[in-house]
A = this chain, B = another copy of it.
Amino acid sequence: MSATVKNTEKLILEAARKVFIHKGCAGARMQEIADEAGINKALLHYYFRGKDKLFEAVFLQAASTFLPAIKDVLERDMPFNQKIVLFVNTYVDVLVANPYIPAFVIQELNNNPAKFVGLLKNYGLNPRPMLLQIEQEIALGHIREMKADHFMVNLLGLCLFPFIARPVVKGILNMSEEKYQEFLIERKTEIVQFVKNSITVS
């Protein structure tokens, strides 16, 4: 209200995101989204054509906030050591800044696996360059012998898991929200260390 010009469309997207995240698409109610945005329900249909379209809009907006950074990292040509650092830092930073994304994606993934994978491929996201680089490094003897695809999945799992399973990990380790935030930041160096130790040839 105050300083920001009231942009109804963005208002709706934000409200919809909030509701969709912890209710899911099926669990969310158009009325609840409208209430959250402080507007009339019919406006949702005025700006977006309906629930499905609104969900898709929210989802695409979410995707567009993290895909570019991810794509960039996967394709960037740089020394492997530095690339790992960049990879880890990018993933963790993006997710710390947008903590709602993982739950959102995983949710969509259950209901519509093919769609999301299609989106990724369609966007041009492709792990080939990095997989090749890993194999090269192995061939050159720079890093330990290992299967490239497993290494890739390891890296992803180390970065993403604490975000996906945030509530469990936080709960099990008995951490406050602030503590967990710190923990996630810490992980950047911790993961890099862990991975580097693991791949260094002895």
- Interface of A toward B, CB cutoff 8 Å: 21-27, 103, 106-107, 109-111, 113-114, 116-117, 120-121, 125-127, 144, 146-147, 149-154, 156-158, 160-162, 164-165, 167-169, 171-173, 183, 186-187, 190-191, 193-195, 197-199, 202
Q: Which of B23, B162, B165, B186 contacts A106 (CB 8 A)?
A: B165
Chain B hits for A116, CB < 8 A: 167-168
Pairwise interchain contact B103-A110, C-beta atoms closer than 8 A = yes
Q: List 27 A-B contacts (CB under 8 A).
A: A23-B26, A23-B111, A24-B27, A24-B110, A24-B111, A26-B26, A26-B27, A103-B110, A109-B168, A114-B171, A117-B167, A117-B171, A121-B172, A144-B197, A146-B190, A146-B194, A147-B186, A150-B183, A150-B190, A152-B173, A153-B161, A154-B158, A154-B191, A156-B165, A157-B158, A161-B164, A202-B202
A160 to B156, CA, bound (A): 11
Across the two chains, which residue of chain B brings its CB closest to A187?
B150
Pairwise interchain contact B202-A194, C-beta atoms closer than 8 A = no
Pairwise interchain contact A157-B149, C-beta atoms closer than 8 A = no
Chain B hits for A190, CB < 8 A: 146-147, 150, 154
Across the two chains, which residue of chain B brings its CB closest to A183?
B149
Across the two chains, which residue of chain B brings its CB closest to A199?
B197
A162 to B155, CA, bound (A): 11
Pairwise interchain contact A113-B154, C-beta atoms closer than 8 A = no
CB distance from A111 to the nearest CB of B (A): 7
Interface centre among A21, A191, A198 (most CB of B within 10 A): A198
Q: Which of B126, B146, B154, B162 contacts A153 (CB 8 A)?
A: B162
Across the two chains, which residue of chain B brings its CB closest to A159?
B157
A91 to B150, CA, bound (A): 17
